């Protein structure tokens, strides 16, 4: 007989058992089921491991949030400003 078999009892008394603490769910979070490409999921998991641990789901959430916040940015105006600055620098350095 193995050690595990001798440790098990036929019955257990749970009459004095108490429920453990319930971890509160953030009111700003919603549980969903989503299908992602395997390579995308692996990329996030690898990033979390490279950072020393954490939650790949939190990293996905952060990436989505940053994308949304930057989506409203006027990229065309930014690009035009950068090109103007570079052209100005190129003129100065060619003189």
Q: What is the percentage of the chain residues whose pLDDT exceeds 90?
A: 61
Task: Map out the domains of the chain as residue ranges.
Answer: 29-94
Instruction: Dump pLDDT digits (tens) for 62-74.
Output: 999 999 988 878 8
Helices (DSSP H) in 2-74: which residue ranges?
Answer: 3-7, 38-50, 56-71
| 55 contacts: CB under 8 Å, gap ≥ 6 | 48
Are 12 and 23 in contact by the 8 Å Cβ rule? The answer is no
Rounded CA-CA distance 85/35 in Å is 43
Instruction: Note the pLDDT of residue 30.
Output: 92
* Confidence class for position 3, pLDDT limits 50, 70, 90: low
Which comes out higher in pLDDT, residue 13 or 21? Answer: 13
Tokens matching residue 74: 């006027």
Instruction: Note the pLDDT of residue 2.
Output: 54
Instruction: Note the pLDDT of residue 5.
Output: 61
């Amino acid at each position: 007989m193995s050690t595990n078999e001798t440790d098990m009892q036929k019955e257990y008394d749970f009459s004095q058992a108490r429920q453990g603490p319930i971890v509160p769910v953030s009111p700003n979070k919603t549980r969903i089921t989503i299908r992602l490409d395997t390579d995308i999921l692996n990329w996030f998991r690898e990033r979390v491991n490279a950072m020393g641990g954490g939650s790949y789901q939190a990293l996905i959430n952060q990436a989505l949030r940053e994308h949304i916040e930057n989506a409203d940015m006027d990229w065309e105006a930014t690009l035009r400003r950068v090109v103007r600055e570079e052209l100005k620098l190129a003129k100065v350095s060619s003189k």
